[in-house]
A = this chain, B = another copy of it.
Amino acid sequence: MDRQARLGDNQYGKAEIRVMKVDRDRPRHVLHDLTVDVALAGDMDAVHLTGDNSTVLPTDTQKNTVYAFAREHGVEQVEDFALLLARHFVGTVDSVHRATVTVHEHHWERLADHSFARSGRETRTATVAHDGTGTTIRSGLRDLVLLNSTGSEFQGFATDDYTTLAETDDRILCTSVEARWRHGETQADWRASYDAVRSALTTAFADTYSRSLQQTLYAMGARVVATCHGVSEVRLRLPNVHHFLVDLEPFELDNPGEVFHVDDRPYGLIEASVLADGATADAGAW
């Protein structure tokens, strides 16, 4: 006999809306190159259970709203833009009780007044979750690839019958930083805050003598919490991009930390949250 089913958590929305906004009020144009994701939740039982779509605002409409809001309100600060959209969906659509809007911003370098080259630097992100009463703002970045060519060791680790790794007192440490941090406020100079967090991450990476990637991760997170006062918590996801010293002895060559093979897979993956003292860990989705 068949068992009965019931609906659990659910959300829906439009993902990867690609928006190029050109500010052209002045001769010197400004670009905002964004990818936007919208996810809505609320009174959606009927659509799942019976196909009654009367509470469903189409994902196509969500896309239109993103474009229209970019024109009406500009996109100067991605956190503000995400917040504006999240409040709009919850505030104007009865069936929507929670909106989560994520904005990814891609950097361009200026060549001339209206000419640009994509910088290829990391992507900046902002995620706003709003449910009518509470609002959570998380900023972040991804694909920030950092490397120290010395000042990194890995020794004194636990061993068992499957351990063959040799200890090393000088290795390359390389990672592609994915970071998200939660703000304690809903208004701020977000760009200044972003620049401060990015600077804390890169300087802590560069100036920490590393006994493990875990230690470096914590130093990066602690630097953020210590120096960026609006940040309650930062979550870091750091793949260990392995650079293996090539054995050149068969060719009668030494290799004092000069020639490395860069490996794709597998890779170590270190993940942790670092909290400001007194802050409560956020159980929400990251």
Give A contacts to B, CB under 8 Å.
2-24, 29, 31, 33, 37, 39, 44, 47-61, 63-65, 67-68, 70-72, 92-93, 95, 108, 111-112, 114-122, 143-151, 154-165, 172, 202-203, 205-207, 210-212, 214-215, 217-218, 221-222, 225-227, 229, 233, 235, 239-240, 243, 246, 248, 250-251, 253, 255-277, 281
Complex CA distance for A29 and B250, rounded to whole angstroms: 26
**A-B contact sample (13 more), CB < 8 A, given A54-B157, A58-B165, A65-B162:** A9-B281, A15-B269, A22-B260, A49-B215, A56-B157, A57-B159, A58-B163, A68-B251, A70-B259, A117-B121, A118-B145, A118-B146, A264-B265
Knowing A16-B267, A157-B53, the reply to whether A68 touches B22 (Cβ < 8 A) is: no
Complex CA distance for A218 and B182, rounded to whole angstroms: 33
Q: Is the CB of B56 within 8 A of A172?
A: no
Given the complex, which residues of B lie within 8 Å of A16, measured CB to CB? 265-267
CB contact between A225 and one of B5, B9, B70 (< 8 Å): that residue: B5
Given the complex, which residues of B lie within 8 Å of A108, measured CB to CB? 147
- What are some 17 contacts across the A-B interface (CB < 8 A)? A6-B274, A7-B218, A8-B281, A11-B271, A18-B265, A21-B260, A37-B269, A47-B212, A51-B211, A52-B211, A57-B157, A61-B165, A65-B162, A71-B248, A71-B259, A93-B158, A117-B144
Q: Is the CB of B272 within 8 A of A47?
A: no
Complex CA distance for A14 and B53, rounded to whole angstroms: 38
Knowing A13-B268, A259-B71, the reply to whether A5 touches B151 (Cβ < 8 A) is: no
Given the complex, which residues of B lie within 8 Å of A258, measured CB to CB? 21-24, 70-71
Main secondary structure of the interface of A (DSSP, over half): mixed
CB contact between A266 and one of B8, B14, B270, B271 (< 8 Å): that residue: B14
* Distance between A38 CB and nearest chain B CB, rounded to angstroms: 9
CB contact between A116 and one of B18, B147, B163, B164 (< 8 Å): that residue: B147
Complex CA distance for A233 and B10, rounded to whole angstroms: 13
CB contact between A18 and one of B18, B61, B114, B266 (< 8 Å): that residue: B266
CB contact between A5 and one of B5, B157, B277 (< 8 Å): that residue: B277
When C-beta atoms are compared, the residue in chain B nearest to A92 turns out to be B160
Q: Is the CB of A148 within 8 A of B277?
A: no
Q: Is the CB of A227 within 8 A of B60?
A: no
CB contact between A162 and one of B64, B111, B147 (< 8 Å): that residue: B64
Given the complex, which residues of B lie within 8 Å of A65, measured CB to CB? 162
Knowing A225-B5, A226-B5, the reply to whether A51 touches B20 (Cβ < 8 A) is: no
